[in-house]
Amino acid sequence: MLYYVTNSDTGDYIEDMAEEYEDKPPVTYSEFEKQIATLYDDCYKRLAKKDVEYGHSDAFKSFKNASKVANMLPENVALMYRLKHDMSLRKLLDDIQIGHDETLTEEFINEKIGDIICYTTLIYGMLLERIKK
């Protein structure tokens, strides 16, 4: 199967990028489910480790403290922390776009995406705490 990739600015077909998918078998949904489970399990372990590291009875205490210093919502503090990881992911995708993907590994991908998921999960938790008060 050939996947078509276009330049988002011009709409032109980028042939060489589409060809790199030509010989690869598609990921089955079962394989994708395993990938998701592994990723989320890693994220859970990472968040649990941070909880032990910070030792707070309040999971969001660090964000609340930082929010007072920065004069913004704790959720926005987490969003700002996540932004660094969003920019790193964007750079990774830009590098792939121009053919510089030689450092791309599953571990690297898991770290990048996992950080974004963790910060998004923290924001989710803070929002739930906000509505349950």
Domain boundaries defined on the chain: 27-131
Using alpha carbons only, give the angle 121, 93, 78 rounded to the nearest 5 degrees: 25
3-state secondary structure of 3: coil
Place 94 in a pLDDT band, splitting at 50, 70 and 90.
very high
Reference 85, options 114, 54, 60, 44; nearest CA is 114
Place 101 in a pLDDT band, splitting at 50, 70 and 90.
confident
* Residue length of the chain: 133
Place 104 in a pLDDT band, splitting at 50, 70 and 90.
confident
Are the C-beta atoms of residues 11 and 27 closer than 8 Å to each other? no
HSE of 113, CA atoms in CB hemisphere, 13 A:
15
pLDDT value, residue 3: 44
Q: CA-CA distance, 31 to 109, in Å (whole number)?
A: 16
Q: CA-CA distance, 45 to 59, in Å (whole number)?
A: 14
| Residue range 23-79, pLDDT digits in tens | 788 999 999 999 999 999 999 999 988 877 776 788 899 999 999 999 999 999 999
Using alpha carbons only, give the angle 77, 49, 132 rounded to the nearest 5 degrees: 50
pLDDT value, residue 11: 57
**CA-to-CA dists, residue 80 to 22, 51, 75, 93, 107, angstroms:** 38, 20, 9, 20, 24
Q: What is the pTM of this model?
A: 0.78
Place 80 in a pLDDT band, splitting at 50, 70 and 90.
very high
| Residue range 1-33, pLDDT digits in tens | 334 455 555 655 555 555 666 678 899 999 999
pLDDT value, residue 17: 57
